[in-house]
Structure 1
Amino acid sequence: MVARGRFLASLEAACGGNCSLAADTAALVVRLAVDSPSLALDWATDESYSLQVAARGSQVTAQVRAATGFGARHGLETLAQLVAATGRPARLLMAGEARVADRPAFPHRGLLLDTARNFLPLADLRRTVGAMAACKLNVLHWHATDSQSFPLESEHVPQLARHGAYSARETYSARDQAELVRYARARGVRVLLEVDAPSHAGNGWQWGPAEGLGALAVCVNRQPWRSFCIQPPCGQLNPANPRLYGVLGELYRDLLGRWPAGEVFHMGGDEVFFACWNKSAEVVGWMESRGLGRSQADFLQVWGEFQERALQEFDKAAGHLNNSIVMWSSQLTQPGVIQNYLSKERYVIETWVEADDPLPRALMALGYRLILAVKDAWYLDHGFWGRTRYHDWRAVYDTRLPGDRAVLGGEAAMWSELVDGAALDARVWPRAAALAERLWSDPAEPSARAEPRLHAQRERLVRRGVRADALAPAWCVHNEGECR
């Protein structure tokens, strides 16, 4: 029903909501056939579809057949792309004959949104999900928490949002979280929730001493920040405090109740700053009591033990051991280290290295499944702060992933240091649409061949209320190929 409504809305948007009826108007009949009633949406979901369009007299018939409802939804999106508006008042034109057999090259086609650096209202998340669905992206990676803020409300641990949110209005209630998951799934998009740990955990975790639980985190908001973390404000969970794990377990129990059973969960795990733990008398004293020193190997052991205990709490909250866990690449995932701490059967590694970095292939050789967030092409925040280079849509499109079954897919990342709801759309779109085509069909052709399609898709997004950035002067759009 949602897919049908979106299809009709896209037709209405194509003619500005005012399509004329002419004497020679043809009827459009759309028939959907879905082989399986399953609503499971995961890396194994069959998203393939076929589409046949045929004109006979005054009727155009479009037949969409798919293995699942999610594939049928993609078929309707493709059908909508075969429609164009012309004239004033507008009339809709569409292809009279078409045959399409389509399936994604990668099962994981994602976009990361960061709601911790700057809060994004639920309406912005919903609008982004709608744009993702229009482009056949299927995973919203929700980087919900960080050391700056903790906006997720938890019934069993309300202190996290109470002490960690920017304000009482800048939170996501339990209802908000569950509603976003439902809204996204109805559009063929999974929500991959990330609660970063043990690093990137400061504000929201500082209430432990006042409630008799001791320090749940150390280095919180410490200055000078360069001595305690990668980016201000600082904060890192305290592995020396055994009460920490009970708090994590209660948090996981709340969150898991709002997501489908067995859904993948992202535990973060990047940029652990050993100097933070090394400057904590409690952590160092605890390590010494266990015969550990202060070497990198010792801190890796502490980190690995933290991850093991956090996973135990997660599994206890889930009631089973089946959820795949995603973690960022880090010191803990280096080829000579990872097998000591992270099982390849349980963990998926999201690498955030540059395209020519050998790490992904080294991890594949060890048998790990991967998601690639190619740092020098798919980090959409680059070019707006620091000494980073802006990655335009061509860089996004021309970056290809290894053709290996271990590679589940990839993600564009919209970190929000300099992004809020007012700037979100133009920073993400249409570059994320270029990523969507790369991950869906993985074409061999260069970006120059894709440019007309991206112009058209950008216009569709704008008609759907997404304030996507312009790609070129209008003259270049109207004179295809003349501006290359």
Structure 2
Amino acid sequence: MAKLFLLPFLCCLVSASLFDSLEERILEKTMPKAASTQAPMVPQPKSFSMGQQTISLSSGFKFMPSSQSNTLTAAIARYMALIFTHSSASDLTDLPQLESVSISINSSDETLQLDTDESYTLNVEASTREAAMGASISAKTVYGALRALETFSQLVLYNFSSGQYEIHGVPLNIMDEPRFQYRGLLLDTSRHFEPLSALRRVVDSMSYAKLNVLHWHIVDSQSFPMQSQSYPKLWNGAYSAQERYSTQDLKDVVEYARMRGVRVMVEFDMPGHAGSWCVGYPQICPAPDCTQPLNPANNYTFELIEGLFKEMTGGSKGMGIFTEDFFHLGGDEVNTACWQKSPEIMNWMKQNNFTTTDEVYMYFVEKAHGIASKFGRTPVNWEEVFNHFGSKLDKSSIIHVWLNHATAAKIVAAGYRCILSNSDVWYLDHLTITWQQFYDNDPHMGITDPKQQQLLIGGEVCMWGETVDPSDIDQTIWPRAAAAAERLWSPANVTDHDMMESRLHAFRCLLDRRGIAAAPLDNKSARSAPPGPGGCYVQ
């Protein structure tokens, strides 16, 4: 009790200069001087230059778009709230004041797909006697403007001594675009259900790190939490009646993500990892006590798959729930023992001249690919499909590497596009993997041919859900995912650990301020709490 009684008294004895010194050290960490080779943000922009002037934002500061867009209007409102979190003092300041940032967008097309342009320029001019200070954002699409708004928001700091919002390093000129088009995060909602509030937080946090694909591993062997209007018994496989997503929920998540520049790629992992489908429709599984892989001998299996895919994609009209071009079909960890135990399937194999279950596996993959392609979607499969069948696959297929980074080089050499998620360093549920290991994982490792490098379209970190639910999802994803996000956005030569560490500390604090419960950077277990008292920027 004595310590608690004395604490307020002791705090009063701490001099103001100590707080000023701490603030200066934080500014030095998060806002490097002009001579620095890094910009004070995550991820690093492609190119930039910084001056030495400090400016403030006026109390009437605003963003001024040159054209109307609901997506941009909503983004401006979000970022005004994210930037201006404290009550500002009056405009009485010795610093030059920035009144506004103009925003110009070349195209009104708000389609969001792999080839969507996310580039932008951001300029903040210095104040001179001859000219008033100005700032501008220019982008080809609204999604480039969203990336610019995030960059600008990370440049603004609140000065508690003056009560002003400030930007350091002016004049500031940034020209930016992502290194890879595909920059994703897998979220597994089957092993543990994640409510809509958690999904929205994940999407928000992805946009802060400029990740642009939510890979929604929505169902698996353990549960089928989503509604299908075409096959209403599918969600009988949910954990409970309350742990479900309605059709409207799915649409809302897709639109919520699009408004933040995030595509939603849904995954229906098959023929393995589909035991939960059998709760509602047992006839599509080999036996009640041996439920997966799905039963290829029953025509109803593929009838259900086609009906489900048509509902999800909208069929040939393409106006379904999931608008993303990529459609993940899983295909991993297919144990064919249940097929071999089923007299029905073994007889069907003989009738169709299949001599091995591997041939049946290939048959199933090709059937699923054909259905996805019929509805205008590009099939994505996990690495095992390539390991089994190699160049037999249609060249439109995309292979998702998770077992071995080295397989990526083989995939692109064979002419296929590839997504990288090698589990040794980009699986977030592997808690002992450090942010440094995430950061060192260059997707182009082992791929030197420029044409083959182009076939590796990007990568994603994976948040598998066995030990993750709403209570710990934020701190398991962040801040380590930000290290991978920089690897996917920033130029290949941005690799310095020391320079990244100071920015990553600041980014973690930024996430915490924005309501994302990111874990301390310096801990042995990725989601552990702080070991003791300390500031956000040093833990």
Name the TM tier (shorter chain): 0.7 to 0.9
Q: 2:519 aligns with which of 452, 466, 469?
A: 469
Do structure 1's residue 10 and structure 2's residue 82 form an aligned pair?
yes
Mapped partners of 2:373, 2:109: distance in 1: 25
Say whether the 8 Å CA contact 2:511–2:517 is kept in structure 1: yes
Q: Name the aligned partner's letter for residue 38 of structure 1.
A: D
Mapped partners of 1:89, 1:202: distance in 2: 61
Do structure 1's residue 279 and structure 2's residue 335 form an aligned pair?
no
Say whether the 8 Å CA contact 1:206–1:216 is kept in structure 2: no
Per-residue deviation, residues 114-156 of structure 1 (Å, max 9, x unmatched): 0000000011011110010111000000000101000110001
Per-residue deviation, residues 233-274 of structure 1 (Å, max 9, x unmatched): x63210111111111111112211334656211111111102
Per-residue deviation, residues 2-38 of structure 1 (Å, max 9, x unmatched): 221222122123xxx3333341272431100111111
Q: Name the aligned partner's letter for residue 440 of structure 2.
A: D
Do structure 1's residue 458 and structure 2's residue 458 form an aligned pair?
no
Q: Any idea what SS the aligned residue of 1:237 has?
A: coil
Q: CA deviation at 1:89?
A: 7.6
How many residue pairs were aligned? 440
Q: Any idea what SS the aligned residue of 2:278 has?
A: coil
Aligned-pair Cα RMSD in Å: 2.2
The residue that corresponds to 2:416 in the other structure is 368
Q: 1:248 aligns with which of 298, 305, 325?
A: 305
Mapped partners of 2:297, 2:279: distance in 1: 15
Give 1 or 2 for the bigger CA radius of gyration: 2
Pair 176,285 (structure 1): closer, same or farther in 2 beyond 3 Å: same
Pair 219,338 (structure 1): closer, same or farther in 2 beyond 3 Å: farther
Say whether the 8 Å CA contact 2:119–2:177 is kept in structure 1: yes
Structure 2 unaligned segments of length 5 or more: list them: 1-72, 315-319, 448-452, 523-529
Say whether the 8 Å CA contact 2:186–2:461 is kept in structure 1: yes
Say whether the 8 Å CA contact 1:29–1:60 is kept in structure 2: no
Pair 242,23 (structure 1): closer, same or farther in 2 beyond 3 Å: same
Q: Name the aligned partner's letter for residue 325 of structure 1.
A: P
The residue that corresponds to 1:394 in the other structure is 436
Q: 1:437 aligns with which of 486, 489, 492?
A: 486
Mapped partners of 1:430, 1:264: distance in 2: 27
Q: Name the aligned partner's letter for residue 390 of structure 2.
A: I
Pair 256,380 (structure 1): closer, same or farther in 2 beyond 3 Å: same
Mapped partners of 1:111, 1:262: distance in 2: 15
Do structure 1's residue 311 and structure 2's residue 361 form an aligned pair?
no
Q: 2:325 aligns with which of 260, 263, 266?
A: 263
Q: Any idea what SS the aligned residue of 2:89 has?
A: coil
Say whether the 8 Å CA contact 1:194–1:265 is kept in structure 2: yes
Q: Name the aligned partner's letter for residue 211 of structure 2.
A: L
Please give the residue correspondences for 1:310-329 in structure 2 after superposition, counting only pairs within 5 Å: 310-316=368-374, 318=375, 322-329=376-383
Please give the residue correspondences for 1:120-135 in structure 2 after superposition, counting only pairs within 5 Å: 120-135=194-209
The residue that corresponds to 2:53 in the other structure is none
Q: Name the aligned partner's letter for residue 132 of structure 1.
A: M
**Percent same amino acid at aligned positions?**
38
Do structure 1's residue 343 and structure 2's residue 391 form an aligned pair?
no
Say whether the 8 Å CA contact 1:18–1:89 is kept in structure 2: no
Q: Name the aligned partner's letter for residue 175 of structure 1.
A: Q
Q: CA deviation at 1:337?
A: 2.2
Q: 2:124 aligns with which of 53, 59, 62?
A: 53
The residue that corresponds to 2:468 in the other structure is 419
Say whether the 8 Å CA contact 1:2–1:187 is kept in structure 2: no
Please give the residue correspondences for 1:6-405 in structure 2 after superposition, counting only pairs within 5 Å: 6-13=78-85, 17-24=86-93, 26-56=97-127, 60-87=133-160, 90-95=163-168, 96-161=170-235, 163-208=236-281, 215-218=283-286, 222=290, 235-257=292-314, 258-259=320-321, 261=323, 263-293=325-355, 298-316=356-374, 318=375, 322-330=376-384, 332-334=385-387, 337-340=389-392, 342-344=393-395, 346-355=396-405, 358-383=406-431, 390-402=432-444, 404-405=453-454
Mapped partners of 1:262, 1:187: distance in 2: 15
Structure 1 unaligned segments of length 5 or more: list them: 210-214, 223-233, 384-389
Q: Judge which range, 79-88 or 410-419, deviates more.
A: 79-88
Say whether the 8 Å CA contact 1:427–1:469 is kept in structure 2: yes
Q: Any idea what SS the aligned residue of 1:363 has?
A: helix
Q: Any idea what SS the aligned residue of 1:349 has?
A: strand
Mapped partners of 2:329, 2:472: distance in 1: 27
Say whether the 8 Å CA contact 1:144–1:150 is kept in structure 2: yes
Mapped partners of 2:520, 2:132: distance in 1: 36
